[in-house]
Amino acid sequence: MTELRDEPFAPEILGSDVVYRGAVWDVREDRVRYGDGEIVRQYLDHTGAVAVVAVDEDRRVLLIQQYRHPIRQRDWELPAGLLDVVGEDPMHAARRELAEEADLTATGWEPLVSAYTTPGSNSEIIHIYLATGLSPAAEPFARTDEEADIRLAWVPLTEAADGVLAGRLRNGILAVGVLAAERHLRGA
């Protein structure tokens, strides 16, 4: 079997400018020497993120629902958040996000998968962790904005995977995380 692998590629960057500075991330424009010519690309310059597939002793996964303005929907997601603290270890950020979004802690943590969310338009890489040995956090977290009315649901992992494959659950990070966790736990 051939083992496919993404390959690093470093074309010459002729120029790189922030063309829009946002509150959370920026839009960058790069001029790049490519082949015999030059291309210009604009993209979201993203800090990166983490997500958590929290699975309880009954093999149920915790899903959260919150409003996402770009898609005008309250979609189902995994607890997740930005790597917006300079130098923060992604595992530490995952622990923080599980506590902030779900008021949970976990004793078992495993890296599950890392994925680029939309490499044609942004530089975001998300690190997804499997969390087990769940218990309530010592103190509930005060939530604001879209997180103020987060809805939580515990769903059997196989049903969440079925929802992804049936097109009912379309969040890409949820899809990658749930399908990876189901495969990872299949033999366990």
Q: What is the maximal distance between C-alpha atoms in the chain?
A: 59
Phi, psi for residue 77 in degrees, rounded to 5: -140, 175
Q: What share of the chain is helix, strand, coil (3-state, %, to 5)?
A: 25, 45, 30
29, 100, 146, 147: the active-site residue:
147
Burial code of 43-61, b = ≥16 C-beta within 10 A, e = fewer? bbbbbbbbbbbbbbeeebb
CA–CA separation, 148 and 136 (whole Å): 18
Examine the residue annotation and report whether 147 is marked as an active-site residue of this protein: yes
Q: Would you name the residues annotated as active-site residues?
A: 147
